[in-house]
Homo-oligomer: A and B are copies of this chain.
C-alpha cells in the first residue's frame, strides 16, 4: 500500500540554483488572500509547457504556448482569483500585458522580453482580468524576489483558489549528480460560477536542451498529471511549466536518450507524481485516495484507458467512499473502457487481496470481507488489475466521490 505523504516541503521552487520567487496580494481575490506570484530565473532558461487539450482555452494558455515556441523563458507570472477565460480579445491583450509588465519590472535585474515571460491565471471565468491591479503589483514583486523556504511557501500559497492546502515538492540530487528539482501546484476545484484549474510550475538547475526538455516534460506529465482524476472534468486553463536554469554545473543533457536523460525523466516524473498526488489528496470532497494499478495490458494506450475508466467511474468512486471491495464495479469499469480485455483472464485485487479471478469472484467469508473493508477505511486503497494479455502497465490516482463534492459543486449559489 502506498504510504501517506508527508506535508509539503516549504523549500521548493528555489531549491534548484538560479531561481528567485515572490508573492503578494494584488487584490484580485475578494477574500484578500495572496493572489499573485512571480518566478524569475537569474539567467536565461530553457523552458517547456504542457497544456489542457480542451478546445475552449484560457487566454494565458494561448499566450503561454506562443511564448514557448522558442523553447526559452525567464519568468512565470501567475495570478489567482480570475482565470482570464471567455474574455475575448481583451483577455488576450491582458495576458500579454501581464508578460509585458513582468519584463518591464525585471528589466534592470533580469533583462528579458515580454515573450520570455509565461503567464498563468486561475479562478473565476468570464470576467475581465483586473489587469491594473496586476501591473501595479508587479514592480513590488520584482523588487521582493528572493530564494529560500519562506519565499517558496508564499508562492505556493498565492496560486491557490479553492484548494485547502498548498502543494509543493522538491528533489535534491539526481542519481549522484548535484541536479535539483522543485515544484508547486494547485488543484482543480470549482468556485461560483466558474471553474478552477490544475497548475504546476517546476524548476530545475539542470542544463537541458529545449527540445529535450519538452520531451521530458511530456513524458513526466503523461505518467502523472495526466493520470489523476478528481471529477473527470477538464479545465480550460490546465498548465504545467518547466524552467531549466542550467547553472548546476553538471554536463548539459542534449539528447532525449541515454542513461542521463532517463534519470532526468525519472526524477522529474517522481516530483510530478508527488505534486499530482497532492492534488488528488486535496480533491473536492475527497475523503479517501485510491491507486489503480493496471498490468498485463496489450498496449500502454489500453492500460491507460482502463486505469482512467476505473479511476473515473462514479460507481467505483462511491464504492471506495463506502469502503466496499466491489470487484463487480471495478470489472464493469474496466470492461467499458474499450480496451482489449478478456474477463476469463482478468485478475483483480483490492489492497493485495484477490477478489476476482478467471471470470468469477473469489469466494470470501463475510468476516473476511469485513476485514478487507476495514483495511479500506484505514488508508489509501490500492486496486490491482492484471489483464494477463501483454506487458503494458500504468497507474492512476483517484479519489472517492462524497456528499461533500455535491455540496461544494451544487450548493454554491444558495
Measuring CB to CB, which residues of chain A are less than 8 angstroms from any residue of chain B?
53-57, 85-88, 125-126, 190, 192-195, 231-236, 312-315, 318-319, 321-324, 326-329, 331-343, 346, 356, 358-361, 373, 400-403, 405-407, 409-414
* This chain: copies in complex: 2
Residue among A55, A232, A315 having the largest count of chain B Cβ atoms under 10 Å: A55
**A144 to B58 alpha-carbon distance, docked (Å):** 65
Residue among A315, A329, A400 having the largest count of chain B Cβ atoms under 10 Å: A315
**A340 to B333 alpha-carbon distance, docked (Å):** 27
Is B233 touching A315 in the complex (CB atoms < 8 A)? Answer: yes
Which residues from B are CB-within-8-Å of A333?
A: 233
Q: Min CB distance, A399 to chain B, in Å?
A: 12
Which residues from B are CB-within-8-Å of A340?
A: 55
Is B234 touching A336 in the complex (CB atoms < 8 A)? Answer: yes
Q: Which among B86, B322, B359, B402 is the interface contact of A413 at CB below 8 angstroms?
A: B322
Q: Min CB distance, A254 to chain B, in Å?
A: 35
Is B314 touching A314 in the complex (CB atoms < 8 A)? Answer: yes
**A340 to B234 alpha-carbon distance, docked (Å):** 16
Which residues from B are CB-within-8-Å of A54?
A: 332, 335-336
Interface of A is mostly: loop
Chain B, residue nearest A188 (CB): B315
Which residues from B are CB-within-8-Å of A232?
A: 232, 312-314
Given A87-B360, A193-B326, A233-B314, residue A406 in contact with residue B410 (CB < 8 A)? no
**A284 to B358 alpha-carbon distance, docked (Å):** 31
Q: Which among B195, B339, B341, B403 is the interface contact of A403 at CB below 8 angstroms?
A: B403
Is A328 touching B360 in the complex (CB atoms < 8 A)? Answer: no
**A312 to B336 alpha-carbon distance, docked (Å):** 15
Chain B, residue nearest A412 (CB): B322
Which residues from B are CB-within-8-Å of A407?
A: 403
Is B360 touching A126 in the complex (CB atoms < 8 A)? Answer: yes
Which residues from B are CB-within-8-Å of A235?
A: 332
Given A322-B414, A341-B55, residue A406 in contact with residue B406 (CB < 8 A)? yes
Is B410 touching A322 in the complex (CB atoms < 8 A)? Answer: yes
